[in-house]
Amino acid sequence: MKTSRKSEADLISNLPSSIIENILGCLPLRDAVRTSILSREWRYKWVTCPYLVFDFWFDQMFLGNHKLETLVYTILKFHQGPLLKFALQAPDFQSSPDIDRWIDLLPNDNIQDFTLHISRGDNHRLPSQLFAFHQLRNLKLYKCAFDPPSTFRGFNKLVNLDLQDVVFAPETFGNFVSCCTSLERLRLMECSSLDCIEIDAPKLKFFEFHGVFRSISFKHSPLLAEVLISFSSMDFVREDRFSFDLIKSLSCLPALEDLHLQAYVLEGLAEYGAPKKLPVTLKTLKTLHLSDMYFEKIDEISCALCLIRSSPSLQKLEITAFTFDVVEAVAEFLRSQKSSDCSLTHLKTVNMQLFSGAESEMEFVKYLLASATALEEMAISPHAGNVSDGGESILNKLKQFPRASPRAEIVNSEKK
């Protein structure tokens, strides 16, 4: 009877080793290591865990009076079998010669996911050993210096590349991306060494950028469908042709469907046809997000209308308002825009966020309601700091505006 109960209680131990490794791989590293106290048989099962993630939870559980350097080295020395994921993202982690020694201990024939997150101090210069991980599918680097050796021919299986505050020679970046022929997702955040970005990635589907560049071109990205671009400085806006060249580059993407931009990026379009249509169009664009839209500036509103009118397939529009003062000239400009100038025949959904009910904002919504013949929903999210009644009075005014679409509903998205 006792033997039967013991057998039932230890069913997990009798599972095939591959299943046990998968179970351990689903646990945080701290919990995987803690299984060593279950029994003598479980003492070393954790050493085959395919995922080693040294993060906040590992830091809280194990460090105490222990040094991270000692623990990481010991765990890597004990580890056996395939290692698919390795991540160093403990709090307050700094560049150290130990990092190169740890990377040298990793098996370069099966690592698929590598993360190195330097939290403070100097950027860490990556060792050449990293570029031997030819099975990599996910690479995330934070606060590193990136300099592939001349013999490097790319990560052929890399799908996801996430770089934040990474320094590399500008000419190196374009070559690196073009060598990663399977790349589908690319994030570049605060990589200050970039100036003129050139992207040649035939399988790229998602691109996100935050920082500053002077120009960007997509040489061969036929599958790129979602683009998010935001800037940490407004200096670039003063560059001649910047706004138009940016939109022109985006118009060359045959699969682009979802675009996120800061509204002030568009101001330079005033010289290229705003508020009417541009010489180029975003033919495939279905969703447009414009953030930080100043409803106090005619140029910004005019250029936003210009981009909307130059997106003939647009179905969804999201705008985050940024309004402090009432400027009568902006409202007057919007009243002068006629819906007959451009009928938005595919626009179905509009979402106005941080809406304060300023006259210029109201006139903008009025124009969209009068122009969007297929509109189904106009959702308003009131600015809590500027609206006292939850937006009910604003909503009641908006409902009095004429609508080109008989199906259009005006709703408060906060109460939806």
pLDDT tens digits, 62-72 = 545 567 777 78
How far from chain centre, in Å, is Cα 344?
28
Residue 153 pLDDT: 85
Q: Write out the two tokens for 158.
A: 């890399």
What does the pLDDT read at residue 56?
A: 67
pLDDT at 37: 45
Query: How far is CA 362 from each of CA 120, 180, 324, 365, 398, rounded to the nearest angstrom?
Result: 46, 48, 14, 5, 7
The predicted structure's pLDDT at residue 6:
47
Tokens 């210069």 appear where?
125
* Confidence (pLDDT) at 288: 97
Residues of the chain with pLDDT under 70: 1-47, 56-66, 235-240, 270-275, 340-343, 386, 416
Contacts of 172 (CB under 8 A, 6+ apart): 146, 147, 148
pLDDT of residue 39: 46
Per-residue model confidence (pLDDT) at position 11: 56
pLDDT of residue 335: 92
Neighbours of 85 (CB within 10 A): 17
Domain segments of the chain: what residues? 265-416
Q: How remote is the C-alpha of 141 from its chain's centroid?
A: 15
Whats the size of the chain, residue-wise? Answer: 416
pLDDT of residue 275: 64
Among 164, 158, 169, 89, smallest CA distance to 130 is for: 158
> What is the C-alpha separation between 298 and 302, in angstroms, rounded?
6
8 A C-beta contact, residue 129 and residue 101: no
pLDDT on residue 8: 44
The four Cα atoms 120, 123, 125, 130 give a dihedral, to 10 degrees, of 60
pLDDT of residue 376: 97
Helix axes 298-309, 328-335, angle to 10 degrees: 30
| C-beta of residue 158 within 8 angstroms of C-beta of residue 130 | no
CATH class as words, domain 265-416: alpha beta
Task: Give residue 114's pLDDT.
Answer: 97
